[in-house]
């Protein structure tokens, strides 16, 4: 640990250091020290936190609705004899510290070590040994005032605001992982910065969502609606038109929150948003169990635009209710092959059944599979209940 006492709400860092005590140079993979949700990546550290009573604090890790991210871009560290490599890991990524007290951390890490290729002087692809690290750490968390927390966050805010700091990754990680009410203006400014090259604006949106205050959600709603200047004017590249990916991500976060107060704005976007963003909104409506959302989705099943029909199907899939199944069965006879494929996919997701519609199915094959689905529904529909979906949040 960097110190033995921390303030409640303060970033808690611990250092991982590897020293080459041998006589040969070795190499290992390294990346920016932020948590990855894929538990099976062997280079990742494991931190198990318990309080004085042996209880584990809540795990604050997101549970993305699209599934855990399973890949990471690693660089390589070459470590000559007597040299050291140090990483700072933000422990708050593994435990939500909500009360003062004494805490214990069991830290583990397994690193595959590689030798250098004499021809390229780069690391060989096959490990020749493994470094196993294990430690038991303890620290105290004390109550804090807002002014104390503001002082603790000041160095990170300074790094964000200083254009000379070309890579403020650690500062971004801190303010988006541990948002405080006094950070709201900074998070909104980060999310709406025009074409930033020092951070990902989506991280700032996640920080706003983690703040969990009405003001933070209103900021996300403004971005979703395109009222923030950067969300309206940001371009993919000069002359290539608007990039609505930030607005789309704001729509997703609003959907995962599921507050019906957001529905009027999203329903208005169904009518006014460009085609790509309209698809994101239609899929998001499936998170709201509200008659207004149902009606908008069922209406779009009859759209003259195939992409609208497909996104309405995916919205109904997200609803996860048996009431949508008859409408999906009808879409198995849609004139567009892609719409039929998406309807089949949605039915598989809702029911767990599969009748083998091929990726390039003809109208004849689609009709045959559609009849199999209808036969199944006639037999099972009266008693069928879709399985409950696991809760998911990208923030």
Nearest to 322 by CA among 347, 342, 341, 297: 347
Residues with Cβ within 8 Å of residue 212, at least 6 apart in sequence:
none
Cα separation values, 50 from 54, 56, 97, 314, 373, Å: 5, 4, 10, 41, 50
- Domains in the chain, CATH or no CATH each: 5-64+74-144 (2.60.40)
Gap between the Cα atoms of 146 and 365, Å rounded: 65
φ/ψ (deg, to 5) at 375: -65, -40
For 314-352, letters b (16+ CB in 10 Å) and e give: bbbbbbbeeebbebbbebbebeeeebbbbbbbbbeebbe
Q: Is 76 helix (H, G, I), strand (E, B) or coil?
A: strand
pLDDT given for residue 254 in this prediction = 97
Q: What is the pLDDT of residue 350?
A: 93
**Nearest one of 132, 57, 54, 127 to 91, comparing CA atoms:** 57
Confidence (pLDDT) at 238: 38
Q: Give the per-residue pLDDT at 195.
A: 67
Query: In the chain, which residues have pLDDT < 50?
Result: 230-232, 234-241
Check if the beta carbon of residue 250 is closer than 8 Å to that of residue 223.
yes
Q: Long-range CB contacts (< 8 A, 24+ apart) of 192-200?
A: 192/223, 192/228, 192/229, 192/230, 192/231, 193/230, 194/229, 194/230, 194/233, 194/234, 195/230, 195/234, 195/235, 198/160, 198/165, 198/166, 198/167, 198/168, 198/172, 199/160, 199/168, 199/169, 199/172, 200/172
């Amino acid at each position: 640990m960097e110190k033995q006492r921390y303030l409640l709400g303060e970033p808690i860092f611990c250092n991982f250091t590897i020293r080459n005590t041998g006589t040969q140079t070795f190499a290992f993979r390294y990346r920016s020290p932020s948590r990855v949700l894929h538990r099976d990546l062997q280079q990742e550290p494991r931190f198990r936190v318990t309080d004085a009573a042996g209880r584990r604090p809540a795990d604050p890790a997101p549970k993305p609705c699209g599934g855990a991210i399973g890949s990471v871009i690693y660089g390589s560290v070459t470590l000559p004899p007597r040299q050291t490599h140090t990483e700072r890991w933000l422990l708050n990524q593994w435990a939500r510290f909500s009360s003062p007290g004494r805490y214990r951390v069991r830290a583990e890490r397994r690193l595959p070590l590689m030798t250098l290729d004499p021809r390229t002087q780069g690391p060989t692809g096959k490990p020749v040994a493994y470094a196993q690290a294990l430690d038991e750490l303890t620290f105290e968390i004390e109550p804090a005032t807002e002014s104390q927390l503001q002082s603790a966050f000041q160095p990170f805010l300074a790094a964000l605001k200083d254009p000379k700091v070309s890579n403020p990754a650690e500062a971004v990680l801190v303010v988006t992982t541990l948002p405080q009410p006094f950070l709201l203006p900074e998070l909104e400014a980060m999310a709406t910065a025009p074409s930033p090259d020092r951070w990902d604006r989506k991280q700032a949106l996640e920080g706003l969502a983690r703040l969990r205050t009405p003001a933070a959600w209103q900021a996300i709603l403004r971005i979703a609606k395109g009222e923030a200047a950067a969300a309206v004017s940001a371009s993919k590249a000069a002359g290539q038109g608007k990039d609505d990916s930030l607005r789309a991500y704001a729509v997703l976060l609003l959907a995962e929150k599921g507050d019906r107060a957001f529905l009027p704005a999203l329903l208005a976007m169904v009518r006014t948003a460009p085609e790509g963003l309209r698809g994101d909104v239609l899929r998001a409506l499936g998170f709201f169990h509200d008659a207004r959302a149902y009606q908008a989705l069922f209406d779009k099943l009859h759209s003259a635009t195939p992409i609208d029909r497909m996104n309405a199907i995916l919205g109904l899939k997200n609803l996860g209710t048996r009431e949508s199944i008859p409408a999906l069965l009808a879409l198995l006879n849609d004139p567009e092959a892609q719409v039929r494929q998406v309807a089949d996919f949605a039915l598989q997701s809702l029911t767990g059944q599969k009748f083998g519609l091929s990726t390039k199915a003809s109208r004849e094959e689609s009709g045959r599979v559609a009849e199999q689905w209808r036969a199944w529904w006639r037999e099972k529909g009266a008693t069928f209940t879709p399985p409950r979906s696991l809760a998911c949040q990208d923030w």
